[in-house]
Chain A
Amino acid sequence: MTKLIYLGCLSLKNYEPTCKNAIKIIKFLDNEYKVLDDAPCCGSLAFNISSDEELKTHIQYVNNWFRANDITELVTICAGCYSYLTKYYKELLGTDFNVEIKHLLQFITEPRNLEKLDLQYSGKKLSINYHDACHLRNASKPIIEEPRIILKSIKNVNFNEMGYNKTNSICCGAGGGVYSIFKGNSDFNAKAIFDNMKKGKILLTACPFCYTALKRIKEENNIKKSIIKFEDFIANLMEGVDPIN
């Protein structure tokens, strides 16, 4: 019985420090979790254009890899992986798929974990916004309240709702592989997300796809607001490091 930390291919490729932070958080909460080399991609970027046969072949490969490594539960930090593992794997493999899937946000929200983390911000009161990523809010088991529970539990942090939030949040425009073809979709929508922050200058996201689009738009438009990945924010708080620096 192995508990897996499933980082996701986008974070592994582009966001190594975030992966390290995520591992730090997960292992602090449950040291039995571990990272395995060569974990296959869940296939999220292929889902919109692949036939059922192609998908099933890929999903079976991933499932066999899980079985070969005796994976019974996993925590992922990728919103895309969470969405596809919980929806399509169960749908296409049925009872053959026996891995308990959790997103990091769900894992942190478990009462004992939240208690163990006992997060607080030591600086001047911090005003935080959270962007609801499509992959999380649309999942078969949607993740909507979890980030709010976590953020509201942090001492000295003020959580603000965005103008469009939860199931009505603005999509960053990077989903469905669109970012690889027509970046213009994000040019407008990711900027609209920043414009949609009512209070405070810090925006958190738990999706590496959203982060990629939001970071680019912030830099290209010289936006003075910060975009921070949820894992980095939590890991910095754990270590008493100011997450906005």
Chain B
Amino acid sequence: MNDKGKELYDVIKGKINSMKEEDSLERQYWNFWKLGCFLKTKAHDLKNVYEDTSREFVDKYKEQLIKMREQVLENLDYYVEKCINVMRKANNFKVHYAKTNKEAHHIFMEELGDNKVVYKSKSNEAKDIGIIDFLKKNDIIIKETDLGDVLVQLFDYKLPSFQVGPGAHFSIDDIVAKIKEMHGVELEPKPSAIVDYYRKTYRKELLNNVKVSLTSANAISAEDGTIVLGENEGNISLLTRATEKHIVVCGIQKIVPTVLDAVLVAKIQSRINNVPFNYINLISGPSSTSDIRGINVLGMYGAKEVVIILVDEWRTKAIKENLFYKDYLKCISCRTCNFVCTAARAFGNIFASKYGWGATAILTDYIHNGIEAAVQDGLFFCTNCENCYHWCPVSINIGEIMKSIKKEAKKAGLCPPPLKEYQQKILKDKNPFK
């Protein structure tokens, strides 16, 4: 192990020690998560209101979903071109194709113009693409709208949290106290009182003040350019309607062949997480009307302009060069791999990166920031148990991908010493315990 390796190993050990401290943020998160993940996993086998369990639902469509994702990745150039053409010609979308994240950042700034505030939905893709960091650096005010993210912002919580429910680890009492501290309002310690507070205050702002909104997409249909966005709160509905300009930022892997495929992706995400998508938005253009003598005018009640920024960055390269993580492009971002992850259960949010939580967030960090970042995120916590693979609705073997990253870490002198010693003994003495 080289000096850098030792430094990273110390960082990891420091994180573990923080997690052991009773009052640390890491510990608080883990206390919540270790129970949450088991309950969430168990929920897959429960028949709630449907005739089938969520696992049965996913199994019913798994083969179709895998075939569809593979078809897209094998013909990605074709689907990207088809999608862009139809979005421009039929949907009145303004479409940008950004080869790199950096290009996407600048396009976004140009689209933002003089606006200094962006209202955003959860948009993990925008985070992955680095838009959020870039906007912050440029003094753009980011206003979260998903309640979980609103709470994360309220607490100024800097540690990684779970992408599906980012604020779920805050206690009700803490939320109420924080609202009192920040807004001077005393609320009853009940979830309904907190929700009611934001409904009464923030909803008004969302209906009246939004000039530029940012969302990602659950999927985009190549046949008709429809953007599919699932949600349960209604924040995306407001952001995509009560705005002047709606900007969609996502990777090109979000494209699927048909609108039915796109809806299937959204339904799978909803069922696999046991999170209801009370609204599935299908957006095929800016708001318009032809009610005055049949003349089409854009921007009736909804967004006047819809801008799509499709980002390539590593994606085409991964396919063309057959990189070991290219299968990750099949991911539909359901995050179910996190619930069942051995390392995530044991290490909470210290098995995470700035892109979020769990193995896929570490992989994203590796892709963008290299091997040292992945090691620091807790790469070597992964036991390669392949629980992620067994549960993945598109059968991505994240365990195998993590194994390849570990090999690279070893090559770079970043492998933790005990593991390396075993390897050396096996290769030299043909027995790790001699």
A residues within 8 Å of B by Cβ? 9-10, 12-13, 40-41, 43, 45-51, 54, 57-58, 61-62, 134, 138, 163-164, 167-168, 170-171, 173-178, 180-182, 184-189, 192
B422 engages A40 (CB within 8 Å): no
A48 engages B403 (CB within 8 Å): yes
A-B pairs, top 10 by smallest CB distance, nearest first, are: A171-B385, A40-B430, A175-B383, A180-B418, A49-B410, A171-B342, A176-B384, A46-B423, A188-B346, A13-B433
Given A48-B384, A177-B419, A185-B383: A9 and B432 interface contact (C-beta under 8 Å): yes
Please pick, from A9, A40, A180, A185, the residue contacting B381 in the complex, using a CB distance under 8 A: A185
Known interface pairs A177-B422, A178-B380; 15 further A-B residue pairs with C-beta atoms within 8 A, sorted by A's residue number: A9-B431, A40-B431, A45-B423, A48-B406, A49-B409, A49-B419, A50-B410, A58-B426, A138-B386, A168-B387, A173-B346, A178-B343, A180-B418, A185-B342, A189-B345
A168 engages B384 (CB within 8 Å): no
A167 engages B390 (CB within 8 Å): yes
Interface string of B311-347 (1 = CB under 8 A from A): 0000000000000000000000000000010110111
Q: How far is the CA of A46 from the CA of B410 in the complex (A)?
A: 11
**12 A/B residue pairs, CB under 8 Å, sorted by A:** A9-B431, A10-B433, A45-B432, A46-B422, A49-B423, A171-B385, A176-B406, A177-B419, A178-B381, A182-B12, A185-B383, A192-B38
Q: How far is the CA of A54 from the CA of B423 in the complex (A)?
A: 10
B380 engages A181 (CB within 8 Å): yes
B384 engages A175 (CB within 8 Å): yes
CB-based nearest B residue for A134 = B385
CB neighbours of A185 from chain B (8 A)? 342-343, 346-347, 381, 383
Q: How far is the CA of A15 from the CA of B427 in the complex (A)?
A: 23
CB-based nearest A residue for B409 = A49
- How many A-B pairs have beta carbons closer than 8 Å: the answer is 124
CB neighbours of B99 from chain A (8 A)? none
CB neighbours of B287 from chain A (8 A)? none
B380 engages A182 (CB within 8 Å): yes
Q: How far is the CA of A46 from the CA of B415 in the complex (A)?
A: 12
CB neighbours of A138 from chain B (8 A)? 385-386, 389
> What does DSSP make chain A's interface, helix, strand, loop or mixed?
helix
Any chain A CB within 8 A of the CB of B416?
Answer: yes
B433 engages A9 (CB within 8 Å): yes
Interface string of B402-434 (1 = CB under 8 A from A): 010011011100011011101100110011110
Write the nearest CB–CB distance from A188 to chain B, whole angstroms. 4
Please pick, from B383, B391, B407, B419, the residue contacting A174 in the complex, using a CB distance under 8 A: B383
Any chain A CB within 8 A of the CB of B41?
Answer: yes
CB-based nearest B residue for A167 = B390
Please pick, from A54, A57, A171, the residue contacting B383 in the complex, using a CB distance under 8 A: A171
Q: Which of A10, A51, A61, A134 has the most chain B CB within a 10 Å cutoff? A: A134
Q: In the complex, which residues 96-118 of chain B have their Cβ closer than 8 Å to any Cβ of chain A? A: none
Q: How far is the CA of A48 from the CA of B432 in the complex (A)?
A: 14
Q: How far is the CA of A78 from the CA of B433 in the complex (A)?
A: 15
Any chain A CB within 8 A of the CB of B382?
Answer: yes
Any chain A CB within 8 A of the CB of B34?
Answer: yes
Any chain A CB within 8 A of the CB of B16?
Answer: yes
Given A49-B406, A50-B407, A50-B410: A180 and B347 interface contact (C-beta under 8 Å): no
CB neighbours of A134 from chain B (8 A)? 383-387
CB neighbours of B433 from chain A (8 A)? 9-10, 12-13
Q: In the complex, which residues 335-373 of chain B have their Cβ closer than 8 Å to any Cβ of chain A? A: 340, 342-343, 345-347
Given A9-B433, A49-B420, A184-B347: A54 and B390 interface contact (C-beta under 8 Å): no
CB neighbours of B411 from chain A (8 A)? 51
CB-based nearest A residue for B428 = A58
Write the nearest CB–CB distance from B408 to chain A, whole angstroms. 9
CB-based nearest A residue for B13 = A182
Q: How far is the CA of A186 from the CA of B343 in the complex (A)?
A: 9
Q: How far is the CA of A48 from the CA of B219 in the complex (A)?
A: 34
Given A45-B422, A50-B410: A173 and B383 interface contact (C-beta under 8 Å): yes
B410 engages A181 (CB within 8 Å): no
Q: Which of A12, A49, A170 has the most chain B CB within a 10 Å cutoff? A: A49
CB neighbours of B409 from chain A (8 A)? 49
A57 engages B346 (CB within 8 Å): no
CB neighbours of A57 from chain B (8 A)? 427
